[in-house]
A and B are shown apart, each in its own frame.
Chain A
Amino acid sequence: MENGEKRFRSLSALLMIALLGVGAWALSLRAERDQLALAVGTRYQQAFQFLLDGVDNMEANLAKVAVASGPGDQIPLLTEIWRDAGMAQTSIGQLPLPVGRMMRTSTFLAQAGDYAYSLVRQIARGTVPDDEARRQLAELSQEAGKLASELHGVFERAQADGPSGWMELQRAAARGLTASVGGALGDGLGRVETHLEEVPTLTYDGPFSDHITERKPRGLSGDEVSEAEAEAIVRRFLPAADREGYRVEVTDRVQGRIPGYHVAVRREGEAGAVYTLDVARQGGAVVWMNSSRRVEENRLDREAMREKAEAFARERMEDTDLVAVDSIGSQGRTTFTLVPKVDGVLIYPDMIKVTVAADNGEILQYDAQSYLMNHTERKLEKPELEEEEARRRLPPDFEPRGEGRLALIPTEGLREVLTYEYRGTVDETEFIIFVNASSGQIEEILQVVPTSEGEVAR
């Protein structure tokens, strides 16, 4: 009897100890989890505060730049606006928001910074901002002010909740793609967005300008083609010698900036497509073609492949003189960039890309999207500078190899400028320098770096 009681006691003591152990373990797990949540939430809080700081500084500097009198005052202020806008925009990308949230705020920041940067470039080249620029800066300053005060409202909220508020927002956002997230923070940030709804459009020479985001293709011409016509176009386009043996079929339609047909090319009796293509509905141009065949062997050298690429493209664009300007290759596939030459000028915006297989020289890919977006009948102006004059504007340590060639290049804002293109070296490093053919200013400097895949200009 006594023995049994003893056993019972020791058993329950053991159980107690085990229970305590489990309890302590659970507590430590929880403490660990809380600590992680605190660390993550604090990072979110930091990102939000960076956003706030960035917008505050932007507002102040935008106001100052409106009263600044000369380039000496304007350039430092505009540069700071560019940097602060970048910091604020980067911070938005770190907040735990649902997809699609704060895109308008992000756009505003990117454009304001980009605009300030475009003015810096302009001033550095000797053009003082005009009244229109001043008006736009004043308007941006006002918008930044409104944005700042909205964000400060959210900040009060974020201070009250601390990191846990951000974790709540993260959990809500992680549950799904819903844009309407509860929680005070989510609501507050949602309001910030709606208040930015009427931001005016900004057009200037930069990559985020509205004229670029809303771009339409310039290279489409002709009447609408039917499905049957698209199939006939594809059959004529195919690189294969036995093109009559394939089954060509429109399988889908494509909307967007180049509406078109999606076409699959199959061998009789096979399910997988050998080639897939997109054909523009207007005019029936092939936008791209792809064969994803894996290439196992490298039998051809780059020169031989270049000839194949040029021959293929020339056959399909008969009245265009195409020049291969660079190539990059790996995994048995080499992609060539081909640029049309019109009246002795390389038209870079109108480039097409052709990929060649290294085993049998087959054409694997063709991509004319850039051509179709940019091509138009241009009136090319005569260069104001002679080649010799342009050469004199090159940096002194740059040794050009041979004469400059005329090239039309796109700026960041997709303006097109006529330049002389020089390839050469500083010591042993390769550079490509584009000199504006009328002002003599250097438009772009690219460093050419050799890689295992080919030369890369960056």
Chain B
Amino acid sequence: MQTVPLRGGTPRRWVPTGILTLVLLAVLAAAAPAALAQRPTLYWGSRGQQVRVLQWRLQEWGYYRGPIDGIFGNSTSQAVRRFQARNGLRVDGIVGPATWSALGLGWRAQAQRAATPVAARSDDLTLLARLIEAEGQGEPYEGMVAIAAVVLNRVKSPKFPNTIAGVIFQPHAFESVTNGLIWRRTPSALAWQAARDALNGWDPTYGSLFFWNPSKPVSAWIWSRPVVRQVGAHVFAL
């Protein structure tokens, strides 16, 4: 349910060079209606969601006091006429483009179907699975999930970058990225499963931000972190 908020971004650079801008504007103008849809013309007897939208706005602006029932009847028609008269439109009780536009509802957002299926956009999952494969060789299953959990805990922490790629590719953050091992191994089925479990929210490390192999030389500083647990060959700490 919780999504990671996107932070940062690069400042937009606007180059106001004549022709380029014109071309860009032309492209934008041509592209705009594709993402938006025009509303249907409504009149006495119309029914449905669009009538409900009309009644909703007329009520909000104080022209309509009837129920929002989606039926274009007498009271809706009266309200439309009052609105048209007050706004210098032709008073015909028909809601066409001009009236919709005056109501501030000229275009309606047409939700776009995603261009690529979401499952194919699992770049984060792939990266996590690769990291698990490279860092979690010979580890028990929880140890594999724990590695991915540390990445996700870092994403949530203000102390580290706030995207999965930002955390994994941070210089010197992971040995397998520094020595390139992450690119030489193909994730096993278990690594994929562990990456999915971590993304589903399972965190056997209780918010840990660091892990290391205690049998290898590490700095004294890292041992100053409060240790949560050991899983397999790795110590996990806050």
The listed residue (B52, B111, B118) touching A426 by CB distance below 8 A is B111
Q: Counting CB contacts under 8 A, is A207 at the interface?
A: yes
Cβ–Cβ contact B1 & A254, under 8 A: no
Indicate with 1 or 0, residue by residue over B39-65, a CB within 8 angstroms of chain A CB atoms. 000000000010011001100000000
Indicate with 1 or 0, residue by residue over A187-228, a CB within 8 angstroms of chain B CB atoms. 000000000000000000001100001000000000000000
CB distance from A31 to the nearest CB of B (A): 23
Q: Using a Cβ cutoff of 8 Å, how many contacts connect chains A and B?
A: 181
Cβ–Cβ contact B117 & A452, under 8 A: yes
Cβ–Cβ contact A292 & B141, under 8 A: yes
Stretch from A107-115, A150-158, A230-238, A314-322 contacting the other chain: A107-115
Query: At the interface, is chain A mostly helix, strand, loop or mixed?
Result: mixed
The listed residue (A256, A392, A426) touching B109 by CB distance below 8 A is A426
Task: Give CA–CA (A410, B2) in the complex, Å.
Answer: 9
Cβ–Cβ contact A99 & B172, under 8 A: yes
Stretch from A63-71, A176-184, A241-249 contacting the other chain: A176-184
The listed residue (A85, A177, A255, A367) touching B229 by CB distance below 8 A is A255
The listed residue (B56, B142, B162, B202) touching A89 by CB distance below 8 A is B162
Q: Counting CB contacts under 8 A, is B87 at the interface?
A: no
Q: Counting CB contacts under 8 A, is B105 at the interface?
A: yes
Cβ–Cβ contact A331 & B193, under 8 A: yes
Q: Counting CB contacts under 8 A, is B14 at the interface?
A: no
The listed residue (A97, A114, A392, A399) touching B172 by CB distance below 8 A is A97
Task: Give CA–CA (A254, B53) in the complex, Å.
Answer: 56
Q: Counting CB contacts under 8 A, is A353 at the interface?
A: yes
Cβ–Cβ contact B119 & A96, under 8 A: no
Task: Give CA–CA (A252, B229) in the complex, Å.
Answer: 8
Cβ–Cβ contact A106 & B229, under 8 A: no
Cβ–Cβ contact A170 & B1, under 8 A: no
Q: Chain A residues with Cβ under 8 A from B7's Cβ?
A: 82, 85-86, 89-90, 110, 113-114
Q: Chain A residues with Cβ under 8 A from B230's Cβ?
A: 252
Cβ–Cβ contact B160 & A93, under 8 A: yes
- Output the nearest chain B residue to A80 by Cβ-Cβ distance: B11
Interface residues of B in 111-160 (CB under 8 A from A): 111-114, 117-119, 141-142, 156-160
The listed residue (A94, A111, A254, A457) touching B171 by CB distance below 8 A is A94
Q: Counting CB contacts under 8 A, is B34 at the interface?
A: no
Chain B, interface size: which category? 35 or more
Task: Give CA–CA (A348, B156) in the complex, Å.
Answer: 19
Task: Give CA–CA (A2, B53) in the complex, Å.
Answer: 108
Cβ–Cβ contact B8 & A86, under 8 A: yes
Q: Chain B residues with Cβ under 8 A from A333's Cβ?
A: 193
Cβ–Cβ contact A103 & B219, under 8 A: no
Indicate with 1 or 0, residue by residue over A265-294, a CB within 8 angstroms of chain B CB atoms. 000000000001010000000001010101
Q: Chain A residues with Cβ under 8 A from B207's Cβ?
A: 256-257
Pick from A87, A254, A353 the residue with the most CB of B within 10 Å.
A254
- Output the nearest chain B residue to A329 by Cβ-Cβ distance: B196
Interface residues of B in 156-201 (CB under 8 A from A): 156-162, 166-167, 170-173, 178, 189-190, 192-193, 196-197, 200-201
16 interchain pairs, CB-CB under 8 A: A86-B8, A93-B161, A94-B171, A96-B171, A107-B159, A114-B7, A174-B178, A252-B230, A254-B229, A255-B226, A256-B226, A256-B229, A257-B207, A333-B193, A348-B1, A353-B201
Interface residues of A (CB under 8 A from B): 82-83, 85-87, 89-90, 92-100, 103-104, 106-107, 109-111, 113-114, 170, 173-174, 176-180, 207-208, 213, 252-258, 262, 276, 278, 288, 290, 292, 294, 328, 330-331, 333, 335, 337, 348, 353, 365, 367, 369-370, 392, 396-397, 399, 410, 412, 426-429, 431, 446, 449-453, 456-458
Given contacts A170-B171, A256-B226, A449-B114, 12 further A-B contacts (CB under 8 A): A87-B10, A103-B160, A173-B171, A176-B218, A207-B5, A255-B227, A256-B238, A367-B201, A427-B37, A428-B111, A446-B1, A449-B118
